[in-house]
Amino acid sequence: MAPFPGWFEPFTQQFIAGEWRTGTGDWDVVDFNPATGEKLASVPVATATEVDLAYRAAEQAQRAWAVSSPYERCRVLERTADLIAERQSDIAAAMVTELGGTRARVLHELTLCQEFLREAAQLPLRSEGRIIASPVEGKENYVTRVPVGTVLVIAPFNFPLLLALKPLASALALGNAVVLKPHQLTPVCGGVLIARLLEEAGLPPGLLSVLITDVAEVGDALIEHPVPSVICFTGAESTGRHVAAVAGGRLKRAILETGGTSALLVLDDADLGYAVDAAVFSRFLDQGQVSTSASRVLVDRAVLEPFTEGLLARVAALRVGDPADPLTEVGPLMSSRAAERLAEDVRQAVAEGARVLAGGEVDGGGRARGNLVPPTVLTDVPPGARISRQEIFGPVLLLIPVDGDDEAVRVANETRHGLSGAVHTADVQRGLRVAQRINSGVVHVNDATVADEPLVPFGGEKRSGLARLNGEAMVDAFTSSKWISVRHGQASFPF
């Protein structure tokens, strides 16, 4: 599955202030196919000059957009969703090529994009004010919501279209302008493709700019610039901590999603066949390059043997290889560096005492040979091992035996992260009790750890992030409350 020849050729410019421009940097961001090493596009990098241009255009365009008809904003986002549906085949093929994602995985992302766009389109129509009682006679208090102004969205390479569109669409719907910085590994599907879709959907010029750049070129200029008031970041914890520090130092609001080490708990009364299916999906979707992936599967010892037998059979049956093959279930990692780093983590874990139950070796290891890491299952991993303390961004699952619910909860919480989780049990009330004790922003009972829906708040605890997105949380993220009081008659002032 590949897009038609030359599909990526038009995507070699920045989208700034409503115009397609060539970046003025003296080097290029080069876009590669992670499965083949083929060069897809080369984009001259944006500099601090383009950063300022984008923000000044956003600041100017946002004023009129903020007072525009909510139905106008709604129509732009609905039309964008329609365009994705109309061009799904080509966009999906491009995503397979640029992301190394399987066909099933990219189609799932495109479905979610349309759902989130259509939900965002309703936000302007649901905006409501309040009248709050005053203890002062003859006074009325009005509380309204106003746009924050300009939002910076820094998007990751995994699920790049969805994780850029989700905050971007809601911010625009609520009357803001947006500057988007996609990841360098996905500049097209996570960046300039979005600009083309919204431009065609009728978004007024200046409200969206897409900057293909890197910290090596612009430093912290994207965050430090005086125009953006909200920074929405999805990515690695170390980078997120820096973003929060820079934003906080300038009193800017930071919304962060910084990964996880999610646990899927299998209690002693779980449906083991179903729990195996959920664990395999939770860990190996998109080669494990998902922040809500279940890197740890905690299994009650009473059912450890049959669960392990079923898990290894399912893992052995996973089809690994070329993502362009519609039968492939696990494709390449995004870079040879990521594949090699993960392989080293596995080797170190084994040296520290872990046992390999499946996989464990890199196939090739260089981009030209596909960046493939086979689905790997480790057990007996020492608690202090590096691989058990950090986010595993690849197809490696840690199988951890536990004795009873209390130990399962304790081990699940022995992490600095708290993004997602799942509990499998035949007793839903038991599952709810266990879920309440897991310190994460999201927990699913009898389901996978990987899920996202437009209406429910999504975000992490501990080092997995700050704040929430989705549903009404989008209003909190991208608007500010404003108090306007009206005094009927004249007040008596104390002096």
Parse the chain into domains and list their residue ranges: 14-258+464-482, 262-445
DSSP state of 192: I
Decide: residue 221, CB within 10 A, 0-12 exposed, 13-18 middle, 19+ buried.
middle
Q: How far apart are the first and last CA of the chain?
A: 77
DSSP state of 190: I
Which CA distances in Å does 348 have to 262, 352, 396? 21, 6, 13
pLDDT of residue 211: 98
Count of Cβ atoms closer than 10 Å to residue 306 Cβ: 13
Query: Strand 150-154 relative to strand 177-181: parallel, antiparallel, unpaired?
Result: parallel
Do residues 205 and 236 make contact, with C-beta atoms less than 8 angstroms apart? no
Alpha carbons 440 and 412: distance in angstroms, whole number:
10
pLDDT of residue 368: 30
Decide: residue 111, CB within 10 A, 0-12 exposed, 13-18 middle, 19+ buried.
middle
Count of Cβ atoms closer than 10 Å to residue 274 Cβ: 12
Alpha carbons 23 and 252: distance in angstroms, whole number:
27
Helices (H) and strands (E) in the chain, counts: 16, 22
Beta bridge partners of 153: 180, 232
Count of Cβ atoms closer than 10 Å to residue 88 Cβ: 16
For the 262-445 domain, the top CATH level (class) is alpha beta
Q: How many CA atoms lie within 13 A of 316 on its CB side?
A: 8
Residue-level pLDDT, tens digit, the chain, 495 residues: 456 667 898 899 999 999 999 999 999 999 999 999 999 999 999 999 999 999 999 999 999 999 999 999 999 999 999 999 999 999 999 999 999 999 999 999 999 999 999 999 999 988 778 999 999 999 999 999 999 999 999 999 999 999 999 999 999 999 999 999 999 999 999 999 999 999 999 999 999 999 999 999 999 999 999 999 999 999 999 999 999 999 999 999 999 999 999 999 999 999 999 999 999 999 999 999 999 999 999 999 999 999 999 999 999 999 999 999 999 999 999 998 899 889 889 999 999 999 999 987 654 433 334 588 999 999 999 888 889 888 999 999 999 999 999 999 999 999 999 999 999 999 999 999 999 999 999 999 999 999 999 999 999 999 999 999 999 999 999 999 999 999 999 988 989
Residue 190: partners with Cβ closer than 8 Å, 6 or more residues away: 155, 156, 157, 160, 161, 163, 164, 182, 183
pLDDT of residue 365: 37
| The token pair that represents 328 in the structure block | 């492939």
Helix, strand, coil abundance in the chain, percent, nearest 5: 40, 20, 40
pTM of the shown model: 0.94
pLDDT of residue 176: 98
Q: Please report the sign of the dihedral spanned by the C-alpha atoms of residue 290, residue 461, residue 463, residue 387.
A: negative
| CA 293 to chain CA centroid, nearest Å | 12
On whether the 14-258+464-482 domain is CATH 3.40.605.10, my answer is: yes
Alpha carbons 18 and 173: distance in angstroms, whole number:
18
Alpha carbons 7 and 193: distance in angstroms, whole number:
11
**Can you spell out the DSSP letters for 306-321?**
HHHHHHHHHHHH--BS
DSSP state of 302: G
Residue 131 has phi, psi (to 5 degrees) of -115, 125
DSSP state of 184: T
Beta bridge partners of 481: 145
Do residues 211 and 223 make contact, with C-beta atoms less than 8 angstroms apart? no
Q: Please report the sign of the dihedral spanned by the C-alpha atoms of residue 328, residue 334, residue 335, residue 338.
A: negative
Alpha helices in 184-236 (DSSP H): 193-201, 215-218, 221-224
pLDDT of residue 418: 96
Residue 104: partners with Cβ closer than 8 Å, 6 or more residues away: 329
Alpha carbons 125 and 391: distance in angstroms, whole number:
39
Beta bridge partners of 175: none
pLDDT of residue 267: 98
Q: Give strand ranges (E) for 250-292.
A: 253-257, 262-266
